[in-house]
Structure 1
């Protein structure tokens, strides 16, 4: 590779970027303005908040501000004014564990009759916000640091629009329900009678009671001696599908802190010799456990904030897979919840077919009225095989045969769907085509309407068989065979294994494109391959369906300058007809996509290529705010002294982005579990160049845990056991 510019990074033929088509899907998320203030997020349960850097909601343009619960915005504006003006920002940030968001502010110069009556930087204001039990709590603490007394007003401007989440992200509605508002004493109540018959209520409670409380505004008259302070607490309660839990500010904060610590108890932790990587891991951990939601079926990682804070099948499965080695309880919750909502009949509007695993569920008014099809929506071609894959990997990780026995009927229904409605033409491949025009046009993880196309740029017409989905189906059948054997179903195991192997040669013959050095992204409805270089083709590496002679060629492609931007592997290679580094799926970089690719590279013996991907993602994560990997970022070439280019409406945090470092670590260390033998094995462990040493603590099975350190020595890593509490066998295997 040449480097004519001398900036240290390989070149690639950029070529002209082709814009996305102007025709958008109904569920496209528009980017209409640049946020005037950075946004920060908090989440607890089904409630999340998006606040700006001042701690306000709706005070500046360009952000999806609000307090949301069950896909409804309960607070659309909450702005604090100091002496009638916006305060000056000193600094703000979310705590490392995502529990609280704290803002430091001060007053501007305040004039009266042409003279300064309150000099700037006299008052220090600390705003602390957290969520607990369907309620947003905020404490405003003001201290007078001046030499003289200070008299000023502390005001709040607020509003509630009860917008459905899809309205908040840009969709228009022909009709809405009716709203009401009533203020009295220390509180103001907003009501909304929705068209779905669901009453929704938001209550703002102030303590102490304001001097004046009227429609949309509350005011305090404050007089402080030098060194004196004044405190206001505000609780914003969301009462929708379930009553909110209210608590005094301090008691609620203590309860939230205890719950967060309990959630992390027994989870394996990672520490390394690289402090920046440690910060990445801490942020990822905090994001993952903030997104975890306690559902009736168990813990479930909601997909992301602000647009995807709900149950998504594919996202939840992949996140659980990424977390499996550190916390298998997440996989248990994901499997139980998806089995509970598995489709039992045919429903064209919901793209539901018997045995199919959920794509997405929503709890807002528009979903209830079917203005959007996502109340319970099944338009995903890959959730079902991935569900079975996760179940098999969960058994390998934990040995929890009782859980698999309980899930087996759902697993068999999933196989029945794969052999029936999922294989539309009976050719042994899984294909999709939406059953209703309101559904998603593309139903793989790249679900933009222009994400599947031919080498001439024309969009593929369905039914479409995606390359990665066939790999998932192969892995599902092998995983199903192992589960069937463990349950004593020998004949079923043999049948599943036979099905898997029967499709391997057919898959290679149908999808391999020698001229591009990798698999086609898909077969269209006429079984014509879409001969374009995409990251989809590299997903199949981890599934086992790839013939050994193909793996090296795929590895060479994905780490070439056409794919590897320097910050990660692009979704579409430079030079392909729809390549656009600013598109959602056609040239951007997705962290979870890279993690799955690196895992597959490592599993097929392409360790150097896997390390390239890991190192690129680490370099990118070091540049992002709070070391947080976003849902995606632009695929522009890495340039010296410049950070990765952000994608304007990417979710952050996003669950499978937060899980990325953990799957990258598993790929590098080759971590394997044998619960029956109480054994942990590290197969061909290899630390990336930016890590000299890494320590894993509380790794193991239930009460049998170990702490180990791995240090890079030559081509491989040296292993040392620091603690062993349950006679766990720890070994290193070198192939």
Structure 2
């Protein structure tokens, strides 16, 4: 995965771990699930608030407004008459555009203790959103009393200009210069000169002008007649902005632009409507979260990994998210492929773990990355991003028939294929292994990148270079994809070469990785080619790409669905009873929605639709216990019990792109849905629906130059397919 968020001294997991496995660990001083923060994102800016809309500074607090990996506002606190208002409700719009917080006054007393204002007579509504590097807020204060009141409303603020890695817990020996705030009648400017030579500023502007303003506070005197209300506008910009005369008009224009931008991007996607209103809400949130995390780049839409710690480019996360949403909106995959092609490694850089042809792992834009205090400015330390890049290119071509893009990308695809053989296969044994080039790099470079996530049957940590089972599956998928791409481009001979490589890998992998006693594939081969004989979820990825022989697939499916692996909520990363199993760990017994969606796709590929729908049902049931019905990055692997919800992981990120998209991928897997852009064909192969869905309507499902609306109805153990609307030359077929 991306950077593990792990309690220090407990699981001791870490993503960006070098010689010290805890160097970049995220302290679990407070549970993100306990905070249930409210998050907003647009472009390279995101914000984390509490339910009242405040950002409370303090050790371990992730709250604030961030831009390009720097926290531009670390504290924002509203008071009324010197007291914090009472929270009434807090919610995000269904499309994630705005956060709405409703508050009321507590009992307010004078210096003698006499109550001067009883509670719940003054209503405060805070509506805020992000647009182009700024947060806009409209504060409306209403008096529901029968008498007039004169009230003081205060906003306190400050910025630490902390690098994201500092917020996550990294300590720095030196920092840049934090300047004294500049105060004007209607604004305060906070500024910081970083050691990287970059001047960073936060400008807080108010309308109307506060009655008093200072370096960390603005005070408004509100004279409210009975049943009247007053409105204040606040803009917090990350950097300088062009100033207009009216902040109110600017807010209205920005809000309309933000809504229009999101509507334009999400309108590309097919829509999902079912007979289950709870599921409709969950699916709507999945789509909204996915598009909130999508950032427009010069190369197209790119899903940033997640909030708060991973709101940036990650290669693996984006490629998997692109695969999950490919049936829904192929434009996301197009943007991801184009971005990663442009940023593909072209030379050796040991500090960045870069090798020619390798695909990005992570990009960071903050001060610490620019200075090299963390090695992630442009970092390439993931072993699976490169084959996933080729796989995604092949899947995109099948989905769209867009040979023009693939012709443009072919040099990058070819470079990635060459990397697999020349640099990925370090010892020439036909398997792709990883090993960092310096002690600064990641120790483990698969998606399970905790320092203790790869181990042997006795619990001993594996010593590299390590050849993960799922990475070989992705390589197989890459060889097959290369064959399909070359066939489409007219190179039949070249296509045959890559298909031959795929079949040779399949035979070799079956011999070296399948373990009859375990009833599944081993986790990995270590540097001495000794198998890590552990029952793990990694085996499910082997099904995903079709690397498994059918008889092995059946055994693996049974093992994955045994109670030791399938908790009822989902499939655990490590089966119960295995060494190092811990349901509260990051990678050694937890449940990850994105991985379960991948495994369900693998089960579906081999015809195990009932098993795939069981995974779907488990994750959907888990989502009903989560605030806003969002699936988190991960949750604990404890067994599902009647009338109880899942156990949450304390510092799981939410929303997380590949978790948000998981339910969308699960729909595709359950329905056996495939789309062939060149043939203009939509196919349903032995479709199934879980018991919580009787009907599913897919609207605006595009393929080639056409589109269709399709209703699927569950009747007993069968699913009936009804084409409700068809535009253009589209064929819809059902295989039963």
TM-score when normalising by structure 2: 0.95
Deviation at 1:34, TM superposition (A): 4.1
- Could you tell me which runs of 5 or more consecutive residues in structure 2 were left unpaired when the two chains were aligned: 1-8, 14-19
Residue 678 of structure 2: SS of its match in structure 1?
helix
Deviation at 1:701, TM superposition (A): 2.4
Q: Distance in 1 between matches of 2:90 and 2:676?
A: 46
Q: Quick check: 1:238–1:244 contact (8 Å CA) kept in 2? A: no
The answer for the alignment partner of 1:266 in structure 2 is 268
The answer for the alignment partner of 1:68 in structure 2 is 66
Taking the TM superposition and a 5 Å limit, the aligned residue runs for 1:294-443 are 294-443=296-445
The answer for the alignment partner of 1:100 in structure 2 is 98
Q: Distance in 1 between matches of 2:547 and 2:258?
A: 45
Q: Distance in 2 between matches of 1:480 and 1:404?
A: 11
Distance of aligned partners of 1:19 and 1:580 in 2 relative to their CA distance in 1, 3 Å threshold: farther
Deviation at 1:674, TM superposition (A): 2.1
Taking the TM superposition and a 5 Å limit, the aligned residue runs for 1:532-571 are 532-571=534-573
The answer for the alignment partner of 1:50 in structure 2 is 48
The answer for the alignment partner of 1:217 in structure 2 is 217
Q: Quick check: 1:133–1:244 contact (8 Å CA) kept in 2? A: no
The answer for the alignment partner of 2:185 in structure 1 is 185
The answer for the alignment partner of 1:582 in structure 2 is 584
Taking the TM superposition and a 5 Å limit, the aligned residue runs for 1:154-233 are 154-180=153-179, 181-233=181-233
Residue 424 of structure 2: SS of its match in structure 1?
coil
Q: Distance in 2 between matches of 1:591 and 1:40?
A: 21
The answer for the alignment partner of 1:27 in structure 2 is 24
Taking the TM superposition and a 5 Å limit, the aligned residue runs for 1:461-500 are 461-500=463-502
Distance of aligned partners of 1:136 and 1:416 in 2 relative to their CA distance in 1, 3 Å threshold: same
Q: Distance in 1 between matches of 2:57 and 2:150?
A: 24
Residue 349 of structure 1: SS of its match in structure 2?
helix
Deviation at 1:33, TM superposition (A): 2.3
Q: Distance in 2 between matches of 1:62 and 1:128?
A: 26
Q: Distance in 1 between matches of 2:37 and 2:565?
A: 31
Deviation at 1:21, TM superposition (A): 5.1
Deviation at 1:643, TM superposition (A): 1.1
Deviation at 1:347, TM superposition (A): 0.6
Deviations 1:120-156 (A, max 9, x none): 1110000111000100011110000011111111001
The answer for the alignment partner of 2:287 in structure 1 is 285
Q: Distance in 2 between matches of 1:19 and 1:199?
A: 38
* 2:596 counterpart of 1:594: yes
Residue 219 of structure 1: SS of its match in structure 2?
strand
Q: More displaced, 112-121 or 247-256?
A: 247-256
Deviation at 1:634, TM superposition (A): 0.6
Residue 351 of structure 2: SS of its match in structure 1?
coil
Distance of aligned partners of 1:203 and 1:170 in 2 relative to their CA distance in 1, 3 Å threshold: same
Q: Quick check: 2:398–2:678 contact (8 Å CA) kept in 1? A: no
Deviations 1:400-428 (A, max 9, x none): 00000000000000011001011000001
Q: Distance in 1 between matches of 2:643 and 2:334?
A: 44
Deviation at 1:389, TM superposition (A): 0.1
Q: More displaced, 673-682 or 435-444?
A: 673-682
Deviation at 1:642, TM superposition (A): 1.5
Deviation at 1:265, TM superposition (A): 2.1
Residue 677 of structure 1: SS of its match in structure 2?
coil
Q: Distance in 2 between matches of 1:327 and 1:34?
A: 34
Residue 421 of structure 1: SS of its match in structure 2?
helix
The answer for the alignment partner of 1:140 in structure 2 is 139
Q: More displaced, 207-216 or 604-613?
A: 604-613
Distance of aligned partners of 1:312 and 1:188 in 2 relative to their CA distance in 1, 3 Å threshold: same
Q: Distance in 2 between matches of 1:108 and 1:124?
A: 10
Deviation at 1:700, TM superposition (A): 1.9
Q: Distance in 2 between matches of 1:64 and 1:634?
A: 22
Deviations 1:463-513 (A, max 9, x none): 000000001000110110110111112221111111111111111111111
Deviations 1:90-110 (A, max 9, x none): 111111100000000011111
Runs of 4 or more above 6 Å deviation: 242-247
The answer for the alignment partner of 1:8 in structure 2 is none
Deviation at 1:609, TM superposition (A): 1.5
Deviation at 1:727, TM superposition (A): 2.9
Q: Distance in 1 between matches of 2:714 and 2:118?
A: 58
Q: Distance in 1 between matches of 2:551 and 2:79?
A: 66
TM-score when normalising by structure 1: 0.96
Deviation at 1:63, TM superposition (A): 3.5
The root-mean-square deviation of aligned C-alpha atoms, in Å, is 1.6
The answer for the alignment partner of 1:685 in structure 2 is 687
Q: Quick check: 2:104–2:119 contact (8 Å CA) kept in 1? A: yes
Q: Distance in 1 between matches of 2:609 and 2:224?
A: 65
The answer for the alignment partner of 2:17 in structure 1 is none
Q: Quick check: 2:681–2:703 contact (8 Å CA) kept in 1? A: no
Deviation at 1:640, TM superposition (A): 1.7
Taking the TM superposition and a 5 Å limit, the aligned residue runs for 1:510-525 are 510-525=512-527
Residue 350 of structure 2: SS of its match in structure 1?
coil
Deviation at 1:715, TM superposition (A): 2.8
* 2:127 counterpart of 1:128: yes
Q: More displaced, 98-107 or 633-642?
A: 633-642
Deviations 1:170-190 (A, max 9, x none): 111010000111111100001
The answer for the alignment partner of 1:237 in structure 2 is 237
Residue 564 of structure 2: SS of its match in structure 1?
coil
Q: Distance in 1 between matches of 2:687 and 2:347?
A: 46
Deviation at 1:618, TM superposition (A): 1.1
* 2:76 counterpart of 1:78: yes
Taking the TM superposition and a 5 Å limit, the aligned residue runs for 1:712-731 are 712-731=714-733
Deviation at 1:268, TM superposition (A): 0.6
In the alignment of these two chains, the number of paired residues is: 716
